[in-house]
Amino acid sequence: MSSIELTPSQKTILTALLNLHREAEDAIKGEDIAAEVDRNPGTIRNQMQSLKALQLVEGVPGPKGGYKPTANAYEALDVQEMDTVAEVGLLHDGEEVEEANVEEISLTSVHHPELCRAEIHLRGSVREFHEGDEVTVGPTPLSKLVVEGVVDGKDDTNHILILKISEMEAPAEQPEH
């Protein structure tokens, strides 16, 4: 799967759509996305055309219509492997973890958006993490993505935490004036 290069604006809008869709479990109106990212609905419609062309979003016609993310949307936002072991912050129950380095964040279970999980690959042990602990990862160097969630499982041998995502955000770049 080749990775799709999204513009910061597309990332912001797609992230907003994924979050709104996870809460509503229904098609999301352009106006709602516009409100979420503080842009005008026309901008959102234009961006949606390009996201549809990339097959990341599908339009749902009708009065209850709007946009839904496709499975590819999760893949496209899938946080790239960190080039360097970047300074990606990791908070464990609100406390910064000094010796943990996040190597990779991958968003899994794409076909069940309501069960959105993230796999966090750490350098260093995951022994101190327990199910139900709150973890915040990010911001990542490129997309400035921040993932918050609760530990849902872990793989000690491979240093992987499985988080049940409660919130994802990629900050919007400053709106053009």
Q: Give the best-scoring range by mean pLDDT among 50-54, 67-71, 82-86, 139-143.
A: 50-54
Q: Please give the mean pLDDT across all residues of the chain.
A: 80
> Cα–Cα distance between 164 and 84 in angstroms, integer?
26
- The residue among 109 and 108 whose pLDDT is bigger is 108
Closest among 20, 33, 28 to 114, alpha carbons compared: 20
Average pLDDT over residues 44-69: 91
The pTM is what?
0.52
Residue 175 in any domain: the answer is no
pLDDT of residue 28: 93
CATH code at position 57: 1.10.10.10
Q: Which residues of 64-97 are buried (b: 16+ CB within 10 A; e: fewer)?
A: eebbbbbebbbebbbbeebeeeeebebbbeeeeb
76-85, 97-106, 108-117, 147-156 — which is least confidently predicted? 76-85
Percent of the chain whose predicted confidence (pLDDT) is above 70: 81
Q: Are 69 and 109 contained in the same domain?
A: no
Q: Are 62 and 137 contained in the same domain?
A: no
Q: Are 107 and 64 contained in the same domain?
A: no
Residue 151 in any domain: the answer is yes
Q: Are 136 and 89 in contact (CB under 8 A)?
A: yes
pLDDT of residue 4: 66
At 125-141, the pLDDT tens digits run 888 899 999 999 888 77
* The last residue of a domain, from among 40, 58, 76: 76
Number of domains in the chain: 2
Q: Are 97 and 163 contained in the same domain?
A: yes
Percent of the chain whose predicted confidence (pLDDT) is above 90: 25
Residue 177 in any domain: the answer is no
pLDDT of residue 82: 46
* The last residue of a domain, from among 76, 99, 133: 76
Average pLDDT over residues 85-101: 76
Q: Are 90 and 164 contained in the same domain?
A: yes
Average pLDDT over residues 106-125: 70
Q: Which domain holds residue 69?
A: 8-76
Residue 1 in any domain: the answer is no
